[in-house]
A and B are shown apart, each in its own frame.
Chain A
Amino acid sequence: MASPNSMSLASPDAMTPCYILGIESSCDETAAAVVRADAPCGERVVSEVVLSQLEDHRPYGGVVPEIAARAHLSALQALVAEAMQRAGVGYGDLSAVAATGGPGLIGGVIVGVMAAKAIAMVHDKPFLAVNHLEGHALTPRLSHDVPFPYLLLLVSGGHCQLLVVEGVGQFRRLGTTIDDAAGEAFDKVAKMIGLGYPGGPAVQAAAVGGDPRRFDLPRPLKGRPGFDFSFSGLKAAVRRSIEQMPPGPLSAQDKSDLAASFQAALVDSTLDRVRRAVRHFRANWPQGTALVVAGGVAANAPLRAELTTLAAREGLDFVAPPLKWCTDNAAMIAWAAAERLALGQSDPLDFKPRPRWPLDPDAPKARGAGAVKA
């Protein structure tokens, strides 16, 4: 997908490889990666290691911030050392050091930011505090060299947004969730039904063999103007459906039917918003060619299938980065830093970690929006 604004990102000295260390610690994965910015698509990620804290949080049915912060601190040093060792480069060979600077759970963000700042200071390298959402948003360029502008559906445990990515640091938010994020809804519904954590894979698995029409669940905001999302009413409707069932434990079939009905409603509601956004994007950004999905919920097979069909029908390329780069990872942080570095950007060593950090600060605040988790 060659284009005037695609890579590669040149090193200041064309002979010196441009290695960037990235660190991610904003939610429940601790990750480190080394990316070679001047390499062709497909050869850029030199090393990457991820440690999931899933088991630490599983008993709580969700991410506990203090548990996450402690786990990041215990894991970080060994992970960074491993990423550097696998890459076979020394700290002095790096062109920059990057960490997620927010948005996210602040205790974890601080851990990655402090380590990255310290490394950058010792070796006198540029430090970049990367917006975690920009990391997700620019991943299709790491994996597929997608040219600007493109339409991005960012769906994760903490976010659900439709963005036009016009350039590095240039985002136009079309819509966002006015209450829960999609991944959050999956987690909460899975918890109510008793399917375990994390909810996304659990609901998808339970929905196989379930009847998506058994429970008549709402499709929030479907057919309404705008591009916002809402999932809390859907979640409440699942709760009511369970409460109205005869007393006693749910049967396996009940669980499957609930999961299938919920998943169908969520996908249906999401698709309605994306369909509207695609038409708006095509009308206003006619040079755009791609619909991109990123974030952990991009792993949901029915959603992916529907998005593929939608993009084909609307004449857009559908791009989904590999799943390991859809969920939280450090390669996307190093890559976003590479894109910013190529534009001459870096951040001061007194950068303040940011629990909230919207990609499009000019976007109107969504009613009731308040998700903090990244």
Chain B
Amino acid sequence: MRILAFDTAGNGCSVCLWQDGQTLALRTLSMSHGQAEQLIPMIAAVREDSGLDWQDLDAIAVTIGPGSFTGLRVGLAAAQGLTLATGLPVIGITTLEAYARQAANAGYRGAILVAVDARRDDLYLQPFHADDTGGLRPLAAPLAAPVEQVAPLLADWGITTATVTGDATALLDGIAALTASHPQAAVDPACLAGLAAGRSAAEAPAIPLYIRPPDAAIPQNGGQLRPDVPHD
């Protein structure tokens, strides 16, 4: 199985062409913005490096968030253009699962808490459990929460000890239940491809996972200076 995988939802822009567990070509850049400029030339370069044609590929894998709203849209819109132009299916993977998978692949077992920087006052979080063979299952749905809620949340989930991983581990220093830490700077696109290889586009659609609603307030009385129905 051959998969083009890329991630732009976090602090980087990375692309790989993957074939049955092997990385045929890889490009990565560290950046917090600017993915809209870099991504397509990087995809073109990776495909060229791999020596494969578009019709040789089986699928496209992309991160769907949570992460930077703009960053995840860069990747998802590129994936839309690619599927229109090639007919390849697009498989969406959450950044949270990708980080958990990377921690499990690095040998971490038991409870794994993934923490992704929301670039606000809070974090995107999801707890997983890695069994003895490295099989992962989520313990709760993804959510956004401020740092001070992390300890109570762990208690709610019945987690007494866990490994914290993701790009925001530094923000969770000092939480007693987090006995181990596996900081990661970015999603590895090869890991993304590996996750996508076992799934169909129907099981894992490339729909954005924002978690947070847009910032917008509905104006009082619709902004009308003299409301039609006077207030008491």
Contacts and interface: CB of A to CB of B under 8 A. Distances in A.
Interface size class of A (residues with CB under 8 A): 35 or more
Interface residues of B, number: 43
B86 interface: yes
A191 B223 contact: yes
A245 interface: yes
B226 A349 contact: no
Contacts of A106: 70
B78 A117 contact: yes
A123 interface: yes
B216 interface: yes
Interface in A55-96: 59-61, 64, 66-67, 69-70, 73, 76-77, 80-81, 84, 91
A310 interface: no
A196 B221 CA distance: 11
A352 B39 CA distance: 11
Interface stretch (A108-116, A145-153, A216-224, A272-280): A108-116
B44 A121 contact: yes
B92 to A, nearest CB: 12
B133 to A, nearest CB: 37
A269 B79 CA distance: 47
A353 B36 contact: yes
A118 B78 contact: yes
A117 B226 contact: no
A122 interface: yes
Contact of B80 (A76, A239, A248, A249): A76
A116 B85 CA distance: 10
A194 B81 CA distance: 41
Contact of B74 (A61, A114, A242, A243): A114
A298 B38 CA distance: 38
Chain A binding surface, main DSSP class: helix
Interface stretch (B112-120, B156-164, B207-215): B207-215
Contact of A113 (B36, B214, B217, B223): B36
Given A122-B85, A249-B226, A110 B70 contact: yes
B77 A76 contact: yes
A107 B73 contact: yes
B226 A110 contact: no
Interface string A237-262: 00100110100111000000000000
Given A111-B77, A121-B43, 11 more contacts: A70-B210, A70-B214, A76-B80, A91-B84, A106-B70, A110-B36, A112-B77, A114-B77, A115-B81, A194-B227, A248-B230
Interface of B: 34, 36-41, 43-44, 54, 69-70, 73-74, 76-86, 208, 210, 214-219, 221-230
What 3 pairs between A and B have smallest CB-CB spacing? A118-B81, A66-B214, A115-B81
Interface of A: 59-61, 64, 66-67, 69-70, 73, 76-77, 80-81, 84, 91, 106-107, 110-119, 121-123, 191-194, 196, 239, 242-243, 245, 248-250, 349-353
6 contacts: A67-B216, A73-B80, A91-B85, A122-B85, A248-B230, A250-B226
